[in-house]
Chains A and B, each alone.
Chain A
Amino acid sequence: MIIEFFNYALNGALLGLLYSLVAMGFVVIYRASKVFNMAVGEMLVVGAFLVWWAVQSRGMHPAVGIGVALAISVLIGLAIERLLFRRLIGESVFSMIMVTIGLLILMRGLVLLIWGPQERQFPAIIPLAPLIFGELIVPRSLAAGGIIAVVCAAGLHWFFNRSRAGLAMSAVAEDHQIALAMGISVRRSIAFAWALGGVLSVITSMVYLSGKSLTFLSSEIGFAALPVALLAGLESIGGLLLAGIIVGVVQGLTAAYIDPLIGGNAAAVVPYVFMLVVLIVRPTGMFGWKRIERV
């Protein structure tokens, strides 16, 4: 009994780390451009299709294929900045959100036009055999995902909080006009944000989909990761790991113990209830910046 509980909790925590890796897509773009990117899930699907196309369809060696996919997704990120967000610097929150939603729909349409709605077998980049520690069973891709999430979080945390370039980007996330006045290039910061978002989406897609089937509907993980980003606070990268683990464990335990009782799928909705509570009680999340508004 107790070992089962630990198994559910551990798997939930690792799934939560995967969520936090996805949520990093929100936070990285927000931390460097003050744009809340609703299209994270679609970017992940595009990254996944690029990897699939390079490795499975073109038959490249995985290392080469992943390199090609990374390069193309960086180019897509730069194109998004050039075509859309360069014109929106200093615009209202509503336009920013709606443009990313438009981007979401547009990317979904383009994925459907280019690759169609069929299911595709994603290459098993991370071996499928689960890791077994005594009685604990852990899928290898989730374990690798956990490690990658921690490494990425540490690297990005250092970059945004310690390095000169990262701090300049944090200024962009505070206020576009003030950043411009301080001599920081808002355009370059936004371009970097979307390129980094592209790289992260390729990495995340490999962790999430390795050995699974890929369709355009895989993007739903983007909305599943929203509560994690909000619980952490949109500006905190380190906090994402903790928030991911909390949401993942709660979700895992709900799926294991509460769903059989009510005979429904409560686990899917628990993160959103969490999100609503966080939004109402503490909109800035656990580690977000506090904004003071004066008239």
Chain B
Amino acid sequence: MDPSGIFSTSYARDSALVRTRAQWLALALFGAALLLYPWLASPRLVAVANLMLVTSIVVVGLQITTGYAGQINLGQAAFMGVGAYGASVVEVKFGLPFWVAVPVGGLLAALAGWAFGLTAARIKGFYLALTTIAAQFLFVFVVLNLPSSWLGGVNGFSLEPARLGPLVFDSDRALYHLFLCSTAVMVFGAFGILRSRHGRAFVAVRDDVAAGMMGIDVPGTKARAFVLGAFYAGIGGALWAYQIRFVSVDQFTLFNSIWFIAMMIVGGLGSIVGALIGTVLIRIVQEGITTLGPDLIEFIPALSSDIVFASMNVFLGLVITGFLLLEPKGLMHRWNIFKATYRLWPFPH
């Protein structure tokens, strides 16, 4: 809802993402803060921010598949893994630069997503959830059982740092702006797709069986949603590979897929900004638990070192069940209610 006094006088204005001058100002300040961040924060915090940027690309992809098109996907980490491995192979075996490797990783993941999107055209609900779980297991199996000279097998894969002309992205601080640009492009792209007719088709397929009657190609739309979500996962995975500079299967497990879903649920299903907020919040708590855990153990020696992993599990379980029971629409829903209230104030309606 727009604040009072704002009227759209053209279609372009009506579909604009940034609608008021105050929003432009806020966006500019936010962008400037993001650009200056690496000089203000400690190297450790820059690394955390990089992780958040990469994860938010993956979660935005999941938001498209699950939040907008309503297709349950429990295998997002596997698609991310396909992207990471794809980019690594292109880089290490064929010696191509990273600006080729990253899109290739995304496209390979999209291809995998297309294969599973075809099953989504036939089946729905929890059967689809099970198919994507199978994707997860198949991914691990394929990587571990192909000859280890291909994908590194159990030992994983090491990468050279990304290079662009004279620039070498070998530290977190160097990677930060690269990741920030990639995330901005991907998020902006997601906004664009979702307010186009494809985005409206996704929402129609999610919300009502009548989508087919409206002339929407339902199987095609579902497949497209999977391809798109997997492409985002692949790009995220490829960037991840350049950050960690080492890929192995245990970075892309079912557990990670569930984390991505938790991030989406916390932010709110069906909202790009929600995906970003959920990612940042959950990552902050994850970092908090991993950094505070050792201190806590030192403080209370009775606790064993396994408590970090255990409490991470308890936290994740509580977040998922708690949000689904108490606030299934996520934090964005709360924010929208709040926004509507302050824009209407002092009037009740």
Contact = CB atoms under 8 A, between A and B. Distances in A.
A59 interface: no
A25 to B, nearest CB: 15
B134 A276 contact: yes
Interface string A92-119: 0111111101111111111011001100
Interface string B115-156: 000010011011101110110011001001100000000000
Interface in B6-43: none
Contact of B321 (A36, A99, A113, A116): A99
B316 to A, nearest CB: 5
Contacts, number: 122
B258 A230 contact: no
A269 interface: yes
Interface stretch (B47-55, B160-168, B183-191, B205-213): B205-213
Interface of B: 66, 70, 72, 74, 119, 122-123, 125-127, 129-131, 133-134, 137-138, 141, 144-145, 209-210, 212-213, 255, 258, 261, 265, 304, 306-307, 309-321, 324-325, 328
Contacts of A181: none
Given A88-B325, A91-B328, 12 more contacts: A102-B319, A103-B317, A106-B317, A226-B130, A230-B127, A266-B145, A269-B137, A272-B137, A273-B138, A279-B130, A279-B131, A283-B127
B271 to A, nearest CB: 15
Interface residues of A, number: 44
B129 A279 contact: no
A293 interface: yes
Contact of A264 (B125, B145, B307): B145
B321 A103 contact: yes
Contacts of A110: 314
A275 interface: yes
Given A97-B126, A106-B321, A265 B306 contact: no
Contacts of A116: 304, 306
Contacts of A279: 119, 123, 127, 130-131, 134
Nearest to A116: B306
A87 interface: yes
Contacts of A98: 261, 265, 320, 324
A225 B137 CA distance: 13
Nearest to B309: A112
* Most chain A CB neighbours (cut-off 10 Å) among B138, B258, B310, B328: B310
* Most chain B CB neighbours (cut-off 10 Å) among A105, A113, A116, A283: A105
